[in-house]
Amino acid sequence: MKKTIIAAAIAASVAAPAAFADVSISGMVNPEFTDRSGANGWGDSAVNTDLVIKGSEDLGNGLTASFKYHIFHDGDSSTSGIDGSTGGKTADTSVSIKGDFGTVIAGRMESFHESVSQAFTNIDASHDLDLENGLAASNFGDRVNSALAYVSPTVNGFHVGVASIQGVAGDDVDSFNSATDIIAVYENAGLKVFANRLSADGADVAGNEDASATAYGASYKMGDLEVRAMKRSIEVDGSDDQDSTFFGAKYNMGAITLAAGNVDDDTNGDSTIYSVSYALSKRTSVYLADVDHDNDNADGTDVSATTVGVKHTF
């Protein structure tokens, strides 16, 4: 009897972890100490965190179901960072089905315009001092609460994505009556090229007018050097287009990475950033970044900031 109980206990201890074998936890902890023009010393300092839980299940017949739950904390609950973010928020809560036909994703997620196009400008090491803040209507299509997206299989380096979005007002999200987000991406031999268009009915960012964002970008990696360029335009019914142009470069020298970028925006003027980071290990790095946003304040004055930070991923 005792042998039976012991054998059952051993079997249970071995089988229990198997039930969780397809669940992973990752994230980061990223304190930044920022001195911004017009602020009181290090008043824009923040501890940014991410926690991502993912899991998957084999459904058979070549199908896989998976989920993603992502929460983050940007800035401090009482003091916003350079990007105006405050407090903790739920980033993504989605379920996807993947097969030979591609991937279907449903739930709360970043739009293609946010995750690919606008994020393309974030070439520096800093979390909060990115050039995305220099884009006109940079929160357009940020994260959406109710989306159904399809991403095709990659064939010869090419894939497309289409998303239908029903807007729901809330933190870190624009409110639409409805929106369509389309993207095409080609990646091969260090080259990446993409084209993206997000069209929204009654977008809050446009004063409840119909609006759309169009972006074209390309990057190329040559050994330790990467260069990027992007053109982005916001179109609002009854208003002039708001165009932005981005150029950036990144260079690795062993454990040291240098980065520089510039956004020229019709509405916000020029934004320039420089950063240098040093990798202490594969998961831990320290960095220094400096950014200057022209005409970024309501009174038309410039906003500049310098930050030092340490980032640990897990």
Separation between Cα atoms, residue 154 and residue 203, nearest integer Å: 32
Q: Distance of CA 114 to CAs 118, 213, 221, 281, Å?
A: 5, 11, 22, 29
CB count, 10 Å around CB of 3? 7
Q: How many CB atoms lie within 10 A of CB 6?
A: 10
Distance between CA atoms of residues 161 and 249, nearest Å: 27
| Contact in structure between 314 and 283 (CB atoms under 8 Å) | yes
133 lies in some domain: yes
Res 135: pLDDT: 87
Q: How many domains does the chain have?
A: 1
Say which residues have a Cβ less than 8 Å from residue 220's Cβ, sequence separation at least 6. Answer: 190, 191, 192, 226, 227
| CATH code assigned at 211 | 2.40.160.10
pLDDT of residue 84: 42
Domain assignment present for residue 4? The answer is no
Say how far apart CA 181 and CA 143 lie, in whole Å.
12
Query: Measured between alpha carbons, how far is 215 from 233 in angstroms, rounded to an integer?
Result: 6
User: Do the domain assignments include residue 302?
Assistant: yes
89 φ, ψ to 5°? -145, 155
Neighbouring C-beta atoms of residue 254, cutoff 10 Å? 8
Is 12 within the bounds of a domain? Answer: no
The sign of the CA dihedral 245, 114, 287, 78 is positive
Q: Kindly state whether residue 10 falls inside one of the protein's structural domains.
A: no
Which residues lie closer than 8 Å to 162 by C-beta, 6 or more apart?
A: 149, 150, 180, 181, 182
Q: Is residue 8 part of a domain?
A: no
Q: Please report the pLDDT score of residue 300 as a whole number.
A: 57
Neighbour count for residue 275 (Cβ, 10 Å): 23
Q: Please report whether residue 113 resides in a domain.
A: yes
CA max distance for the chain: 82
Domain of 241 in residue numbering reads as 17-313
Note down pLDDT in tens along the chain; length 314 residues: 444 544 544 454 544 444 445 899 999 999 999 988 766 555 567 899 999 999 999 999 999 999 999 998 876 433 333 344 445 577 889 999 999 999 999 999 889 999 999 999 999 999 988 888 888 888 777 778 789 999 999 999 999 999 998 764 444 445 566 889 999 999 999 999 999 999 988 766 656 678 899 999 999 999 999 999 999 999 888 777 899 999 999 999 999 999 999 999 988 889 999 999 999 999 999 999 999 988 655 555 678 899 999 999 99
Structure confidence at residue 237 (pLDDT): 81
Q: Which of 136, 292, 148, 145 is nearest to 215 (CA)?
A: 136
Closest to 108 in 3D by CA, of 49, 165, 51: 165
3 lies in some domain? no
